[in-house]
Amino acid sequence: MNEIKQNKNVFFLVLVAALGYFVDIYDLLLFLIIKNKSLASLGVPTDKLTQTGLSLMNWQMAGLLTGGILWGIIGDKKGRLSVLFGSILLYSLANIANGFATSIPVYAALRFIAGIGLAGELGAGITLVSESMSKEKRGYGTMLVAGIGLMGAVAAYIVGDLFEWRTAFFVGGGLGVILLLMRIGVFESGLFENMLKKDVSKGNFLMLFHKKRFFKYLNCILIAVPVWFVVGILVGIAPDFGKALDAKDLLDNGKGVMFTYIGISLGDFLTGTLSQVFKTRKKIVFIFLTLTFLCMMLFLFTKGWTAINFYILCIFFGIFTGYWVVFVTIAAEQFGTNLRATVTTSVPNMVRGSLILVTILFQWLRGNLGIINAAVAVAIITVGIAYIALYNLDETYGRDLNFVEE
C-alpha cells in the first residue's frame, strides 16, 4: 500500500509541475503574440510598436534573469515547493494585473514582475521531480513535465488569436490560480529535507564561481543556446528570411513559433524516452543537436519556401531542438542537493538571456554579410560551442543525486 501511495504522490507531483510549466509557457509566449495589438490599444503609434515591444521584452527578460537566480537560491534554502507555488502565484497575479494595464510604464513593470515569476517554475518542477523519482525512472518524469508544459504555446496562440488581449491575460492568471488550488497533497523532496540536517552552505550562488563548478555551469548553459537561436531568430524573424530566400508566401512567425513549440513538445517526449531506453543523456543531445544543425542548413540554403513547407519545417525544428528536457535534466543531475535548485532554475533562464548576445552578434554580422550568411555563421558558432560544451560535461544517466557540494 505504501508503494501505491508513493506512486500516486509522484504522479500528482509530476502533473502539478507539468501544468505549472504549461501556464508558464502560455504566459511567456502570450506576450509575444498579443503585444502589438495590446500596445495599439494603449495608444502606441504604429511606427513605435516595434521599439516599444522590444523595450517591454527587455523588461521581461530582465525579470527572467533576476528571477532565475532569486528563485534558485530560495529553492535551495527554503525548499522546492516554496518556489514552485511562489512563482506560480507571482506570475498569475502579474497576468491578472496586466489585463488592467492602462499605460506603458505600468505594462513594463508588470512584465518585469511576471518575468521574475516565470523564471522559477520549470527549475523547481524539474528539481522536485528529479529528486522524488528513482534514478532509473526520473527521465520519464522530467519528460512529462516539459512535454506537457510546452503545449502551453499552442494554448497561447489560440487564446491570443481568438480573444481580446486583456481577456487573454486574465485567462493566464486564472489558470495559475486554479493550479494553486491543486497544491494539496504535493510533497517536498526527501533529498532536500535530508540536506537541511547537514552543515553545508545552501543556495550560495557564489559557490558556482569556483573554477570547476563554474566551468560545468557554463557548459550546461551553452549546450542549449542553439535552441533559442532557432526560436528567437530563424523562426522569430521568419518574414525577413522569407524575403531573402524568395519565399512564395509570407512566412508567418507567429504560426511558425506555434508549430515549433508543438514540435518541441513532441521532441521532449522523444528525447526523454530515448535517453531512458539507451541509458544516456549526452549521446541523445549530440544526435539531436546534429539534426538541429542540419535543419538550420536546410532552411538557409533552400529557395522558394511556401508557407505550408515552412510550418512543416518548424515542426521538425521543434522536434530536433526538443532535447531541451534532457538539457534541463542534465543540469539537475550535475550538481549537489544544496545547489541543485539554484542551477536548475537559473540555467534555462541564462539560456533565454543568451538570446540577447546571439541577437547582437547576428545583427552585427547581418550588416556585413547579409541575413543568410550571418545566420549560417551564427548557426556554426552556436552549434560548434554546444558540441564542445557537451563533450566537457559528464554523463549523468542513473546518477545518485543524494550528494552535496562542499
Of 216, 176, 202, whose CA–CA distance to 90 is shortest?
176
Amino acid at 253: N
Cβ atoms of 372 and 296 within 8 Å: the answer is no
* Domains 1-197 and 205-406 agree in fold: yes
CA atoms within 13 A on the CB side of 242: 20
DSSP class of residue 247?
-
pLDDT by residue for the chain (406 residues), tens only, comes to 456 666 677 887 888 888 888 888 888 888 877 887 888 888 888 888 777 877 787 888 889 889 999 999 998 988 888 888 888 889 899 999 999 988 999 999 999 999 999 888 888 888 888 888 888 788 888 888 888 887 888 888 889 888 898 999 999 889 888 888 876 566 777 777 778 777 778 778 888 888 889 999 999 999 999 998 998 889 988 888 999 999 999 998 878 888 998 899 899 889 999 999 999 999 999 999 999 999 999 999 999 999 999 999 999 999 999 998 899 899 989 998 888 889 999 999 899 888 888 888 998 998 889 999 999 999 999 999 999 999 999 998 888 888 788 7
R_g of the chain computed on alpha carbons = 20
Burial profile 158-175: b = 16 or more Cβ within 10 angstroms, e = fewer? ebbeeeebeebbbbbbeb
Protein fold of 205-406: Growth Hormone; Chain: A; (1.20.1250)
CA 113 to chain centre: 17
CATH topology of domain 1-197: Growth Hormone; Chain: A; (1.20.1250)
Instruction: Locate 322 and state its grid cell.
Output: 526538443
Which cell numbers hold the place of 140?
A: 520519464
CB 39 within 8 A of CB 53: yes
- pTM higher than 0.95: no
* CA distance linking residue 275 with residue 283, whole number of Å: 8
Cα three-residue angle 187-192-198, rounded to 5 degrees: 145
Structural domain spans, the chain: 1-197, 205-406
